[in-house]
Structure 1
Amino acid sequence: MTLFDGSEPIRARSLPRRTVAGMWALVIAALVLVVLTFLPTAYVIQRPGPVYDTIGTAESADGEAVPLIEVSGADTYETEGTLDLTTVQVVGNRDRTPSWFELALAWLDPSRAVVPIESVFPAGVTTEQREEENAVLMVDSQAEATAAALSELGYDVGARVEVADIAGDDAPAAGLIEPGDRILSADGTAVADATELREAIQAGGGAPVEIEYERDGEQGSVSVTPEESTIEGETAWLVGITLTTAFDFPFDVKIQLDNVGGPSAGMMFALGIVDVLTPGALNGGEAVAGTGTIAADGTVGPIGGIRQKLYGARDAGAEWFLAPASNCNEVVGHVPDGLQVFSVETLEDSLAALDAISAGDTGELPVCTAG
């Protein structure tokens, strides 16, 4: 074919075969990308969530700013700086998983993580059930944090072990022990927490256990024969009760934080409570963040999403971060610029870290190392 531009004839040239192949490859890749966008996936994305200052304010259900930690019946003191608790947001659920395109973008973002959906939403558990479980864990963590903080300050918190639930009508304890019973002892040994009762039951090797309890102000005892079960590949003897630790606090400590679930804010709650109840600023007015579960005895435990929480803390302006020692392997090599991370195992360790930060002398504080 000959083309004319009004002067000399111009002959059309065919495109090189390599160029045509490249263009088709781009078209096919684009089509594949479009198809993948609509295909379901088996993953969700974890990303940094909101950050809340435990010595600051939070928004109530009515949209009003209220103290995140409010104490009634005891002297409180002014605070400075921040003691931020960090959270993780999950993008996707079993009803709507992220697209492959969204997953690809998340893989390239160091502040995000792509995880199997089963690790966040176990099979058979609805989103509503998961939210309910996390709400219960949050309530428990607030009680444990209050107990740890007040115990650290020398208060008697009156800890007691109570039965929360019975595992069905065919459980060994069914008809013998009731929800609300306070467990006093097992085979004559006083029980201070769920672990001690568990140990007493295991020590019997399946033999009947004499459990002393208190119900409606009256004491009683029953003999319960445990049944054998396998938990994570190990044999255990169970009586079929769920325990909780209740406390009698000397005054009211109210933690006001909506729409956040799970137990990982425990340590930061405890630090906030101690700061509110003691003169001066624990952190020396610095911006400090952290995470970690906490037990009433002050033990700090591991949490999930530590890498996302590091980025969330840095983006919120924190310069220092307190991380559970048991999460250190996930921390090494993933600390964002501008943030310094210290390893803690107990509430006492956390308080020591804040004291060093306040004094500007952090050289001796433990940091996370590989392995």
Structure 2
Amino acid sequence: MWSLSVALILLLVMTFLPTAYVIQQPGPVYNTLGEATTSDGEQVPLISIDGATTYPTEGSLDLLTVQVVGNRERTPSWFELAAAWFQPSRAVLPIDAVFPVGQTTEERNEQSAADMVDSQKEATAAALTELGYDIDARVTVYSVLDDSAADGILEKDDVILSADGRPVTDASSLREIVNEGGGDPVELVVERDGDELTLSVTPRESEVEGESTLLLGITLLHDYEFPFQVTIQLNNVGGPSAGMMFALGIIDTLTPGELNGGANVAGTGTISADGTVGPIGGIRQKMWGAVDAGATYFLAPETNCAEVVGHVPTGLRVFSVSELDDALDVLEAIRDDGDLDALPTCTAG
């Protein structure tokens, strides 16, 4: 009796002890061919296009989300963690992997919102490029970090045209130019309120993921000149992982017939303007979210395949994609009753 009493007391104490983990689980699923709810509670098309001919769609092209249970202010109890550990649709992660040390909740939300805006623009550029439109790219300053090298020099919404006389086409090209300078001042030509300015910024050395690099202290967005307006309405969802599904939804809306043959298809993956599909987080939870939403096919980034193998829920068929064209090939095979077995999938090793 004494042993049982002590055990119960210890279990009760553990319920209130803080933990260093959070729980990842499937979040809401959104059909890019369907409707979304605005902040005012109004139902509107998730993707709407003004200035171009659009066509009816059928079935679904679902984007998946992941919810995080817990934060630094309130972590899940040990009982909640134990329960989540035995559920395949949930994952227990160190809190530092989701909420980086030193990053405030406000900063995390701001970065997540910026990633979502950027992914929508990249998806639109990828879709329209696939359809044969010429797209002009612009690199825009989204924010300037306080006390950084660029603080007081660059401003939000500045368009960076060139650095040290070389055109800036994306964040990678600017990063390369800055680091090639070895710490010397970088001469930037920017467009601000319709005027061109020449500004000098001296980068500062910093450590990113264990490696020394030179930074200006800005976050960037890719902006584009599109031939018509594409609006993506999706509230309270952040991050870049919906990019590929946005692109497929735009293509389906702008082309006759059903891109997916009327089937229920889900998927995930970042996308860049050139159509490259990139990795995302929480893919196992997203596969379970796809099943719960009624999808029978799932498009997974090739770079996430190691996390997919051995964890595919029953009833879901997963295809591996590395480019937007790969995803279109899968949808074509589904639509035309093609040979699905001939398409790439995630395999062990």
Same-fold call, TM cutoff 0.5 = yes
How many residues were matched structurally? Answer: 348
CA shift for structure 1 position 83: 0.4
1:191 to 155, 168, 174: 168
Correspondence 1:354 to 2:324:
no
CA shift for structure 1 position 246: 1.3
Q: Provide the residue aligned with 2:293 in structure 1.
A: 316
Task: Please give the alpha-carbon distance, in whole angstroms, between the structure 1 residues aligned to 2:148 and 2:281.
Answer: 35
CA shift for structure 1 position 26: 4.8
Correspondence 1:278 to 2:250:
no
Change (3 A) 1:212 1:62: closer
Partner of 1:247, secondary structure, is strand
Q: Provide the residue aligned with 2:244 in structure 1.
A: 267
Correspondence 1:164 to 2:142:
yes
Task: Please give the alpha-carbon distance, in whole angstroms, between the structure 1 residues aligned to 2:22 and 2:201.
Answer: 44
Cα RMSD after superposing both structures: 2.2
Sequence identity (%): 66
Q: Provide the residue aligned with 2:63 in structure 1.
A: 85
CA shift for structure 1 position 28: 4.3
Q: Provide the residue aligned with 1:217 in structure 2.
A: 194
Partner of 2:136, secondary structure, is coil
Task: Please give the alpha-carbon distance, in whole angstroms, between the structure 2 residues aligned to 1:69 and 1:178.
Answer: 30
Correspondence 1:247 to 2:229:
no
Task: Please give the alpha-carbon distance, in whole angstroms, between the structure 1 residues aligned to 2:15 and 2:230.
Answer: 48
Task: Please give the alpha-carbon distance, in whole angstroms, between the structure 1 residues aligned to 2:241 and 2:140.
Answer: 23
Deviates more, 1:124-133 or 1:189-198: 124-133
Q: Provide the residue aligned with 2:317 in structure 1.
A: 340
Task: Please give the alpha-carbon distance, in whole angstroms, between the structure 2 residues aligned to 1:337 and 1:230.
Answer: 43
Q: Provide the residue aligned with 1:50 in structure 2.
A: 28
- The TM-score normalised by the length of structure 1 is 0.86
Q: Provide the residue aligned with 1:304 in structure 2.
A: 281
CA shift for structure 1 position 88: 0.8
CA shift for structure 1 position 66: 1.8
Change (3 A) 1:120 1:369: same
| Aligned 8 A contact 2:148 2:216 in 1 | no
Unaligned runs of 5+ in 1: 1-22
| Aligned 8 A contact 2:24 2:90 in 1 | yes
Q: Which letter maps to 2:20?
A: A
Task: Please give the alpha-carbon distance, in whole angstroms, between the structure 2 residues aligned to 1:248 and 1:294.
Answer: 18
CA shift for structure 1 position 25: 5.1
Deviates more, 1:255-264 or 1:313-322: 255-264
Q: Provide the residue aligned with 1:97 in structure 2.
A: 75
Unaligned runs of 5+ in 2: none
Correspondence 1:237 to 2:191:
no
Deviates more, 1:205-214 or 1:98-107: 205-214
Q: Provide the residue aligned with 2:269 in structure 1.
A: 292
Q: Which letter maps to 1:203?
A: E
Correspondence 1:37 to 2:22:
no
**CA offset digits 1:60-88 (Å, max 9, x no partner):** 33333321111111111111111001111
Task: Please give the alpha-carbon distance, in whole angstroms, between the structure 2 residues aligned to 1:168 and 1:129.
Answer: 12
**CA offset digits 1:225-281 (Å, max 9, x no partner):** 444333333232334443322112211111111221211111111111111111111
CA shift for structure 1 position 178: 4.2
Task: Please give the alpha-carbon distance, in whole angstroms, between the structure 1 residues aligned to 2:106 and 2:197.
Answer: 39
Q: Which letter maps to 2:161?
A: L
Task: Please give the alpha-carbon distance, in whole angstroms, between the structure 2 residues aligned to 1:277 and 1:174.
Answer: 42
Partner of 1:322, secondary structure, is strand
Correspondence 1:328 to 2:305:
yes
Q: Provide the residue aligned with 1:120 in structure 2.
A: 98
CA shift for structure 1 position 168: 4.1
CA shift for structure 1 position 348: 1.5
| Aligned 8 A contact 2:114 2:142 in 1 | no
Task: Please give the alpha-carbon distance, in whole angstroms, between the structure 1 residues aligned to 2:19 and 2:148.
Answer: 40
**CA offset digits 1:203-232 (Å, max 9, x no partner):** 233344443333443434345444433333
Partner of 2:250, secondary structure, is helix
